[in-house]
Structure 1
């Protein structure tokens, strides 16, 4: 009760604040993956060779005969960004708690908000294991893949903040939902295949780290084929939406997925053709996050969630705290 009273004394977050906090969560969860790719392509993955310390006996980078100062600071800076992600996750949870204090029926909002700090803790543990395992390719893959559900959940949280918390209804029925489930499953197979290609590629995070002994060309072909499967499912879903009579909002979300997915496929082809240059690797990781965000947005657009209509932000702010 004391904690609930403390939360109730906080100012009620306006719609703009709720939206800003949720957008920050999406950016933070996607951004940490991109900065992680910068660590990998610069060979800075073991710039801080221990965890949670940077080097034995020090949380900060220090002169070390085996690790260049720039690599140390790149890895250390990426670790420090985790603090930003934690702060954003905490803001999401506090904001959701404050909304739920006023509206106890918003249990789904609080549950989604809890996934943000919970996921960050999980990622920190996985990141520590990755460092202690000397960047074994499969640990790096798990570290990246663990961030993908968090990006997805952040998009769902953004939509939940804008809703009234009532049960959702599928706009295109059970068949449309089945198409989306298959689309999501195919998207994650593309992401998994991408991490396998990375495991056999030239950028392991450290020149001495063990790489997957498999032909990169073959793995890249499989990765590309899985992307084609994803696009085929997306096209089939589009035909279904045409027959079902989708809303303009759902069509906009659908077209956005196509634009981003095709751009990501083209970028991947260029990247492979140019010999996997460092800058394009990070752009490709950003592209994968954007595909995930766009697909999650399509999932949300296919569900009818009632928007908040009353009371207004001003009325909330004038209501005495309980």
Structure 2
């Protein structure tokens, strides 16, 4: 009954075109990556406790106030990061829910869309725990990994929105290649987890005013960086093997193009990591590395989804919710191995 009332209210909104839905979905990906990037800015500027309480900035103030013990710029950076989470991420998460609900998209899309605002709330709570626990390294790492997971979900939603609601999946690349990309995704998750340990032991504690009070991972940084780098090599090797199969086997052009883009992004990210390590982890490269991590996550997710796209039934008329979505180049393709 409650959901029916929600649908009646949503039906008062203009019907979004397929292009509008895709644009909103793209903005959702960017917003999820943005919150991770601004979080890294908070860290490298040592503004993690610029607002030492949550959800308020201070116990007696929701917003930053003039204080001797906390510089105003630390307050502004941390408070700004929170505002991005509230106004940009939540707004766009709500927008994608309203758009796909109004367009009466298939249940799969609705589920992914609703995950965005729900997970954003969870992420906000996790951010609060990060502050209230005094920036413990493993909580900060979990916060970053949650952001990466949300980028993955948003990227999957972006691909699914561009596909028709009728019909079924058709292979657009060799099945073995798709399995390799799935394994590459698992390896990527390990790379990201290992990366948070390097950060947890690194020089950016997140609070310059009292760095000795911040819980740090007391393990050799070269050792952690070697593990991180080794896992990256495994990830890149699996992805490269998939790329070879995609190039040799019957694959649709969107998949061929996307695997090239993914490999380029991964190599660029690896280069940033190497330069970052040998230049003693400058803050600007940390921010670029976090942005690169989000890019790798999004590209890998998109690649995996494109390898088995949903294809419309031949001769089935386009409905208002998917008008403008074109069938994939592989719509007439036979199953491939």
> Is the TM-score greater than 0.5?
yes
Deviation at residue 313 of structure 1 after TM alignment = 7.7
Please state whether the residue corresponding to 1:303 is helix, strand or coil: coil
User: Using a 3 Å threshold, how does the CA distance of structure 1 residues 212 and 125 change in structure 2: closer, same or farther?
Assistant: same
Question: Is the counterpart of residue 224 in structure 1 residue 232 in structure 2?
Answer: no
- What runs of 5+ residues in structure 2 fail to find an aligned partner? 325-337
| 8 Å Cα contact 2:174/2:245 also seen in 1 | no
Cross-structure match for 2:302 = 297
8 Å CA contact 1:47, 1:67 repeated in 2: yes
Equivalence for 1:185 = 186
* Separation in 1, partners of 2:237, 2:322: 47
TM-score relative to the length of structure 1: 0.92
Matched ranges for 1:7-26 at <5 A = 7-26=10-29
- Compute the displacement of 1:312 (Å): 5.8
- Contact 1:108–1:165 (8 Å) recurs in 2: no
TM superposition shift of 1:269: 0.5
Q: After TM superposition, which residue ranges in structure 1, 4 or more long, deviate above 4 angstroms? A: 312-316
SS in structure 1 at match of 2:311 = coil
Q: Structure 1 residues 48-57 or 244-253, which shifts more? A: 244-253
Residue pairs, 1:136-151, within 5 angstroms: 136-151=136-151
Of stretches 299-308 and 216-225 in structure 1, the one that deviates more from structure 2 is 299-308
Distance 1:289 1:315 in 2: 30
Q: Is the CA contact (8 Å cut-off) linking 1:48 and 1:75 kept in structure 2?
A: yes
Q: Is the 8 A contact 2:145 2:192 kept in 1?
A: yes
Match of residue 214 from structure 1: 219
Give the secondary structure class of the aligned counterpart of 2:242: helix
SS at match of 2:144: helix
In 2, distance between residues paired with 1:313 and 1:75? 40
Q: 1: CA distance between counterparts of 2:137 and 2:179?
A: 33
Question: Residue 251 of structure 1 aligns with which residue?
Answer: 256
Contact kept? 2:174, 2:246, Cα under 8 Å: no
Matches within 5 A, 1:260-271: 260-271=265-276
Find the aligned partners of 1:286 and 1:205 in 2 and give their Cα distance. 18
The number of aligned residues is 312
Query: Please, which of 72, 77, 92 is the counterpart of residue 75 of structure 2?
Result: 72
Aligned match of 1:237: 242
Q: Deviation per CA, 1:250-275, whole angstroms, max 9, x where unpaired?
A: 11010001101111101111111111
Quote the Cα distance in structure 1 between the aligned partners of 2:185 and 2:17: 32
- Give the CA RMSD over aligned residues: 1.9
User: Following TM superposition, by how much is the alpha carbon of 1:69 offset from its aligned partner in structure 2, in angstroms?
Assistant: 0.8
Q: What does residue 126 of structure 1 align with? A: 126
Cα 1:217–1:314, aligned 2, differ >3 Å: closer, same or farther?
A: closer
TM-score in terms of structure 2 length: 0.88
1:285 aligns to 2:327 (yes or no): no
- Contact 1:145/1:191 (CA < 8 Å) preserved in 2? yes
Partners of 1:266 and 1:128 in 2: CA distance: 33
User: Does the aligned pair in 2 maintain the 1:267–1:284 contact within 8 Å?
Assistant: yes
Given candidates 80, 99, 102, the residue that maps to 1:95 is: 99
Alignment partners' CA distance in 2, 1:9 and 1:80: 29
Structure 1: 5+ residue stretches without partners: 317-322
- Decide whether the 8 Å contact of 1:187 with 1:227 is kept in 2: yes
